[in-house]
Structure formats: C-alpha cells, structure tokens
Chains A and B, each alone.
Chain A
C-alpha cells in the first residue's frame, strides 16, 4: 500500500507487513502503516477488523507473529507497554484500564517510573490537566467519577510520559457530543505541539473532522489509505465495510396503536454503590412505535432494562404496565407470558449460555411462554428436541444466522450472528412488546442493519418496541420517538424527526429545562 503524502522528515512510526496470528486466524494480516510527526492519523475499521490487535502490538501488549515496527527510522521490538512508553508511545484505552478502587493520583502513579512520590504525581497531574483543559481531582476515587472524567485520567496519564505518539482507542464512544468537542480541542493542542495521534474510530464524521490521514482496515488487512477530508462518508464506509450497507427502511411505521408498554413514575433505588437510581421514569410506547432511549453509558440504562423486564421487579405493581395490566412487581417469566419479549445487553452469560447449543438456549428463554410447544409430558416438562430444533432452524434462517453445523454452542458464533439469533429468538414469538438493550453493540455493520430492520418490521406489524442504545446513528435509523436518559432520569419523548444530535447531546448532559422554549430544529 503506497503511503499518501509522506513528509520529507520521514515518518515517526512505520509498520511494515505486520501480522498477528491467533492459531490459524489472522487478526492482522500484513499491515502497512505510516504516521508522520504532528499529524492526527485515523485508524478506521469495523469491530473485528483488527484495529485493537494492531494497536496492542504497537503498545507492546501483544507480540507480533511477523513483520516490522520502525520507530524514527529504526526497527524496534516492543516487548512490553513499559518499553513502548520508554520509546515515547502513550496509549488511552477504550475500556477497563483504570482501577476503580484506587484514587486518580494512584492510578496515574502506577504508569510512571518508580521513585516519584504520590504527592508529586498529584501536583503534576493537576498542572497537566489544567494545561490541556481536562480538570481532575487527584484525590477522587475512580469509582465515583463519570466516564468522561475517567477518560481524562487516561489522557493525563498518557501525557505525563511526554509521549511523541498518543494512541486513542475509540475515545468518543463513551462521551457526550459536548465532551467529544472538548476532547477534539485537546487533540488539536497536542498536534500543534508536534505530537502525533493515532485515532482509532469507526465514526466517519469525527474522523473527517479532525484527522489528517486515515488508514482503513477490514478483516485484518489494509483496504485503503487516504485523506479523510477528500473522501465522502459513503466512500469511507465502502472501504470499511467492503460493500454498501443496506439502509433500514422505516416506511409505514407511523400508524399509532394502543399504548402497550407504560412506565408510571417508576423509581428504583440503586442496588449497589456503582449503580444508578431510577428517578420517576415515565414512558409510553404505542403499538407501531419504536421508542429509542439515548444516553451515555452508565446513566441508568441497565437499571431501566432490569425494571422494565422484571429482572429486578419494582415494589409497586403500577409502576409498569404491559398491555394495560399492572406488571411492575412481576418477574420476567410472568411478563413474558403477558406478551413481552426481552433482549438484554450482554450476549454471553446473560442473553445466552455460551457453552450450551442454540436449541438449549432457545428452551431456556421460552420454556414458559412456549410451554405447550416445546415441553411435553405434563408436569415432567420433557423437552421436545425435534420441535425445538425446528424452531431454532427457523430462527436462524429468518435472521440469516451464519454458524458452523446445525446446532453449535452459542459461544462459537461471532458476536453479530449470536446477537441476530438472540433477537430472532424473541421476534419468533411475535411479542406485542419488545424491549432491547444495546441491540447492536459490538456487532458488524451487516448484522446491525439486519437487526435494526427486524426491530422496525416488528413495530410495523403493530407491536411496541423499546430500544435502549448509545449509538445515535442507530437511534436515528430505527426510532419513531426518542427520549434521553441521564443520571436515572428520563426526558420527555420527542418525535425522532424533531430532534437534532445537539439537542440529544444537551439532554444527555441532563439539561432539560434549559432547552425548553427553544426552537426544535429538524434533524434531516
């Protein structure tokens, strides 16, 4: 792959035919990449394209199988993150790299060379965080901080090493649009200081906005290197996905039926110190509607799903109504029997038992709601394997689930295919109410589009669909109504066409009253 616009001084970092094999599977297959000093370089690709594997090799977390990493013109081996930091490479991880039980200063001190006292670390962290517009309290416990604040710790932690290259892994996936804007300002400042940034993302809009160059990965290979500003979102998406992604058709979803799902002043106290309490949540979903609930992760989405699905029932029966019957204090099976279906957030271990075959997972979810079909022998409840297998096959065909063998273990399916199966398992019952949490998290674009279309189709057939999602693109694709959850409070629902991303961003920050009376701009 020829480098585009290589500068005269030579690249800061060059990667030559870097390959990483896991068994016979090539997560990265002959990757070439060049990063110039003082540029923001995008690494684009879908989930599973090999972006994370590539940066883990650059940061010394994984050892490459073959290929070469060249730093400032010299071939280097990076055996550990410590070695990467010594070279001048800093990394801001996407998930799970902070220690919740430790303080901000302790978290930062862990990545610094020994011999620096904790109080010195705290002072330096405060200084840097103010310099780059990332305010932080060094004595705060991470467990008590918001996601945006946690990311600031990661950035300050990387900056304390004075790195020449900073790698950011999907930094905006957890931020409100306003928080993202602040991050972009910080990145610009880093760039003007002559530092390089490797910016990993699958969000085309922001890549076009802030990045100087882009390298696109698909299935572990480089499929394009370009100047993102000269491309269109469609041409970038083609490089990422390989083909044009089918767009979801929402035509015919406007017919409004009866209210099938309703929450009336639903309040739930926090179950754990890290959980969010739900405060007076009111919502209504009519047949034919798709209500999407937007919000930044950790603002009560999981708790809302638990309360609506009955995983943790509320004390008050009249807090939740399903098809006009009070269900607030009922468990999940009782609600299923009332005609509701649920798809929780975690595929593995929550929506499916990874080690069991698909057919068993089907029986586990529907043994009560489809008792007559799936179970025989009266009270004995003997599983009718032939019937279950037939239903399982029907689901796989309807949702285009790609798998090896007829009835493989759930865990052997790729994320996207398992998610298609899990959503299909509920749709197969034709539920009159469907509640889905993060339907396409970590799912490839093809599967995501298939799932979204299925949700829209279910609403078209007269069911009420509630989708909890962090992905604004998804929300605008499927929703007829949109509400925003912030710190356990739910905003009013607005018609989807009457909301803009900016307005949603403000609502995500909990700014309800302040936007009232303001003219609502059209989204499209």
Chain B
C-alpha cells in the first residue's frame, strides 16, 4: 500500500462522520428546523455505541444503539422546539452542552478500555481494482451507509413527494399548513432523522475512527457538520464533496506531523475552522444561489392558529 493510498484511506475515515452528521442536519434544516445540537447528539451516539458494543461484543448492535440514541436525544430537542416552541438556537446549544456532559458521565467506566473495531466488508472483484479498490471497496458498513444515504437523501428530497413536502415546509410553513401538510409531524420526523444520522456519525467515531471512548471525542465535528450544510447550500452532492474536503483538511495535521513537516499542530488543528470561515465568506458572495437554496423558514417557530 502506497503512502498516498494510506493518506486517502484516512481521509475517507475522517470524512465519513462529517458527511453523515451534516446529511442529517441538512434534512432537518430543509424542513426548517435549525438543530445546533449536532455535537451533543453525535457524542451521545458515540458513547452509547461504545457501551452497547462492550456489553454485547457486537459492533453492529453498537451501531444500532448509536442510531437509536441520536434519534431519541433529538426527540428531546423536537419536543422542546416543536411542541413547546422553545427558541431553536438556545435549545440546540443546550442540547450540545447536555450531550457533552451526559456522555462524559455515562462513559466514565469505559475510559481507557480498548474497543472493538468495526471490521471492513470486502466487496469481491471491485476491491481488486488497483488503487481505488482498497480505498472504496474495503470499507466498513458505516462508510457504505454514508454514501448510500447521500444518494438516498438526494433522491428523496428532489424526486419523491415526501421530500417535496419537506422542502415546502422549510420554504413556507404557513402555506404548507394551509395545504394540509402536517408541519409539526413532518418536522419531528426530519429532526429525528437528523438525530439518527448524528448518532450514526458518533458510532463511527467510537467504533471505526478510534475504537475507544474518550470524553468529548466528537471534538467539534458537530460544528463542522453544521458549517458544512451551509457550505453545501443545502444540496446533498455538494455536501459529499465538502465533507471530503473538510475531512482532508482535518486529517492533514496528523500526516504533517508524521511526515515531520515543521508546521505547528495548533495551526493545523485550527485549519478546518479557518476553512469553514473562508468557505462561508466565499459562498455568501453568491447571494442568488444561497437565497434560492436556503430554507426560508429556517429556525422560525411554527404555531398553527387553531
């Protein structure tokens, strides 16, 4: 295996949680709900996935636990913001802080334990393709899921009726309600999909990326995922590209250190955030693209006047 192949493999591993978490957030935001709790849902998914794997010995049960935990945790956000109409920004921030705290508590006994790594599923024939075979077709289940989900969400949002309804709700929830679309119910489902994806992203961290539990192991990836949604202007394909770009930037610090490049590690660990800022500046220049893709009702509470 060449050095470039090895680097690309790590990029894939670093990008997968970003793609997953931001894809879930994209669906939630397309329905008009801004959930800033991605980081919290992700870290909760990570700790529960690790704990379930330790308890059962099966990382696949761990994956399911991560997904379920993210979805349930987002349900709390949904109840507060959709049913009780609490402020979405404040609630999202609270969810992140809560998630970081609770996961630390739950994860205490697991600190320092060595975990079970999710094993790759080798796809016959395709994995024999030189260079790209080992990178794309000797991966774990979560990677395949992330790619399938990008395809699926793109098809769902822009080709299916249910996806059309989600986009309609995000664009103008009052009209959607007037047309008889269940705004609150649909938003609950979108938020829970977002939570499930964040939980799956968390499971990837504690089962694939570094198969162990470390407190705060999401390490700001939830925030990068949020920025990534804007970066992608709420489009799944752009999100996939952006996820890999951000993944590459975030992993570059490790490789720079390994290769002995004289770049301070602090600078490299700050790079993803600097890249986010630059990308946000660049993207805000193209106002038409941003405005037409931005869900107009993003973050606005909806109360049916009954």
Q: List residues of A whose CB falls within 8 A of some B CB.
A: 59-63, 80-82, 85, 93, 96-102, 106, 109-111, 114, 141, 143, 272-274
Per the bound structure, the CA–CA distance linking A497 and B180 in Å amounts to: 49
- A-B residue pairs in contact (CB < 8 Å), sample of 11: A61-B178, A82-B180, A93-B175, A96-B175, A97-B175, A97-B179, A99-B176, A100-B171, A109-B164, A110-B181, A111-B179
Query: Told that A99-B172, A102-B168, A272-B291 touch, could you supply 9 new A-B pairs with CB distance under 8 A?
Result: A61-B178, A81-B180, A82-B180, A96-B174, A99-B168, A99-B171, A101-B292, A110-B176, A111-B180
A110 partner, pick from B164, B287, B295, beta carbons under 8 A: B164
Which residue of B is nearest A101, CB measured?
B171
Per the bound structure, the CA–CA distance linking A111 and B161 in Å amounts to: 11
Q: Are B161 and A109 in contact (CB under 8 A)?
A: yes
Kindly state whether residue B296 has any CB partner on chain A within 8 Å: yes
Q: Are B288 and A273 in contact (CB under 8 A)?
A: yes
Q: Are B168 and A81 in contact (CB under 8 A)?
A: no
B292 partner, pick from A61, A62, A98, A143, beta carbons under 8 A: A143
Q: Are B168 and A273 in contact (CB under 8 A)?
A: no
Interface string of B150-189 (1 = CB under 8 A from A): 0000000000010011011001101111111100000000
Whole-angstrom distance from the CB of A3 to the nearest CB of chain B?
Answer: 29
Which residue of B is nearest A98, CB measured?
B175
Closest 4 CB pairs of A and B: A82-B180, A273-B288, A81-B180, A97-B175
Contacts of B171 in A (CB 8 A): 99-102
Whole-angstrom distance from the CB of B15 to the nearest CB of chain A?
Answer: 28
Q: List residues of B whose CB falls within 8 A of some A CB.
A: 161, 164-165, 167-168, 171-172, 174-181, 287-288, 291-293, 295-296, 305-306
Per the bound structure, the CA–CA distance linking A60 and B293 in Å amounts to: 31
Q: Are B175 and A273 in contact (CB under 8 A)?
A: no
Contacts of A99 in B (CB 8 A): 167-168, 171-172, 175-176
Per the bound structure, the CA–CA distance linking A62 and B174 in Å amounts to: 13
Per the bound structure, the CA–CA distance linking A378 and B112 in Å amounts to: 66
Q: Are B179 and A81 in contact (CB under 8 A)?
A: yes
Contacts of B296 in A (CB 8 A): 100-101
Per the bound structure, the CA–CA distance linking A106 and B179 in Å amounts to: 13
Q: Are A63 and B179 in contact (CB under 8 A)?
A: no
B306 partner, pick from A63, A101, A109, beta carbons under 8 A: A63
Which residue of B is nearest A91, CB measured?
B178
Contacts of A100 in B (CB 8 A): 171-172, 296
- For B161, B171, B179, B287, the residue with the greatest tally of chain A CB atoms inside 10 Å of its CB is B179
Q: Are A274 and B291 in contact (CB under 8 A)?
A: yes
Q: Are A106 and B291 in contact (CB under 8 A)?
A: no
Contacts of A109 in B (CB 8 A): 161, 164
Contacts of A82 in B (CB 8 A): 180
Q: Are B179 and A110 in contact (CB under 8 A)?
A: yes
Q: Are A272 and B178 in contact (CB under 8 A)?
A: no
Contacts of A106 in B (CB 8 A): 164, 167-168
Whole-angstrom distance from the CB of A166 to the nearest CB of chain B?
Answer: 15
